[in-house]
Amino acid sequence: DSGVTQTPKHLITATGQRVTLRCSPRSGDLSVYWYQQSLDQGLQFLIQYYNGEERAKGNILERFSAQQFPDLHSELNLSSLELGDSALYFCASSSRQSATNEKLFFGSGTQLSVL
């Protein structure tokens, strides 16, 4: 167990809908990262937050947004969902701003299916 908790584990929804994925980092970790894993795109970095502030942005669509709350948990909001958004969404955490010298701890992911 990595200590990173993601809920829900599975999510099935319809096109055009909006969903929220939740992530609780390891106790004491200040950085939260979101990654998307799909069959065609592989693993892609979406966005990183550090202590409540956005620190880096990757291939995140405008329909997607995220935030990190004062208690350090993070939410990834996906709106106007399309079939192609179906993927496994990972959250990861680390204690430093950069994952260079610290292990990046991944959660078990949220499997999103858009029908």
Partner 1 sequence: AQTVTQSQPEMSVQEAETVTLSCTYDTSESDYYLFWYKQPPSRQMILVIRQEAYKQQNATENRFSVNFQKAAKSFSLKISDSQLGDAAMYFCASKPQGAQKLVFGQGTRLTINP
Binding site for partner 1 (CB under 8 A): 2, 33, 35, 42-45, 48, 55-56, 58, 88, 90, 92, 97-100, 103-104, 106-109, 111
Nearer to partner 1, 27 or 101 (CB): 101
CB of 35 to partner 1, least distance (A): 8
Q: Is 114 helix (H, G, I), strand (E, B) or coil?
A: strand
Cα–Cα dist 78/38, whole Å: 15
DSSP 1-34: --S-EEE-SEEEE-TT--EEEEEEPPTT--EEEE
Q: Quick check: 21 and 6 in contact, CB under 8 A? A: yes
CB of 8 to partner 1, least distance (A): 14
CB of 16 to partner 1, least distance (A): 27
Nearer to partner 1, 2 or 79 (CB): 2
Q: Which two tokens stand for residue 108?
A: 């078990």
Nearer to partner 1, 6 or 78 (CB): 6
